[in-house]
Amino acid sequence: MVFWEGYVSDETMGTFFPIVIYWLYAGFYQLLPPLDKYRLHTSKEEEEKNLVPLAMVVKGVLLQQLVQAIVALVLFWLTSTADASGVTVQPSIPFQIVQIIIAMLVMDTWQYFVHRYMHLNKFLYRHIHSQHHRLVVPYAIGALYNHPLEGLLLDTLGGAISFLVSGMTARTAVIFFCFAVVKTVDDHCGLWLPGNIFHIFFKNNTAYHDIHHQLQGTKYNYSQPFFSIWDRLLGTHMPYNLVKRPEGGYEARIKKD
């Protein structure tokens, strides 16, 4: 029994709830006070280095989410296992956990190799992936700010493949996609907040991804959104030191040998 049962279908929830979660969680970060003592970059750096205004970022994210919603509706419709009464039998909770872990690994694998190729191919980087890197100083609302083609290939198609390979139901997909969205937003929030559970349990976190957005780190730390397995296996892992700035806040610095 879930809170939306009897009100909306699992397929509708799986399509639109991750979008709602994105704006709620990213909006939470956006509405926080400056919190300069926890920032990985100063407010001045964000204003000076970022090459795209907030309004354009919002439009870009909404466009990507529109495409995601259309693909999700079609995908859920094609894979629905509901009986004549509209009921889908859910597997046991341990089995769902295994499905979610499989989906996490599949998504990480897909996104690592597509993301890396978009950096290594000069045409794709210049005309497509560089749009995401116009946010030199990442912030939460810009987590899904991408070129529309990148959004389709990296996030939307990656999510669809993860869903299909894991064999999860639409109801389990609600949990998985909402978790993936929250983790992605957190990785781009630009804040190193004390007690952040993602910083405790994931090496691939806000500072890890911040290194990738730095000029010296663009060929490293491709992994997203969960683990850093592929970076470590294929030699693209860039370790970092988290250093406190005298004026307040933190700085993620590439660790020198």
| Residue 2 counted as domain residue | no
The CA-based diameter of the chain, rounded to the nearest angstrom, is 65
* pLDDT of 67 over the 90 cut: yes
Q: How many domains does the chain have?
A: 1
| 203-241: pLDDT as tens digits | 999 999 999 999 888 999 999 999 999 999 999 999 999
Best CA proximity match to 226, nearest among 113, 109, 88 = 109
| Residue 7 counted as domain residue | no
| Residue 1 counted as domain residue | no
| Residue 3 counted as domain residue | no
Residue 232 φ then ψ, to 5°: -70, -40
| Residue 4 counted as domain residue | no
Residue range of the domain that includes 157: 13-254
In this structure, the chain runs to a length of 257
The beta-carbon contacts of 50-54 under 8 Å, at least 24 apart in sequence, are 50/134, 50/135, 50/136, 50/137, 51/134, 51/135, 51/136, 52/134, 52/135, 52/145, 54/141
* pLDDT of 97 over the 60 cut: yes
Quote the DSSP letter at residue 39: B
Residue-level pLDDT at 248: 84
| Residue 187 counted as domain residue | yes
| Residue 149 counted as domain residue | yes
| 17-28: pLDDT as tens digits | 999 999 999 999
Best CA proximity match to 71, nearest among 14, 130, 135, 145 = 14
What angle do helix axes 170-187 and 157-166 make, rounded to 10 degrees? Answer: 140
* pLDDT of 82 over the 70 cut: no
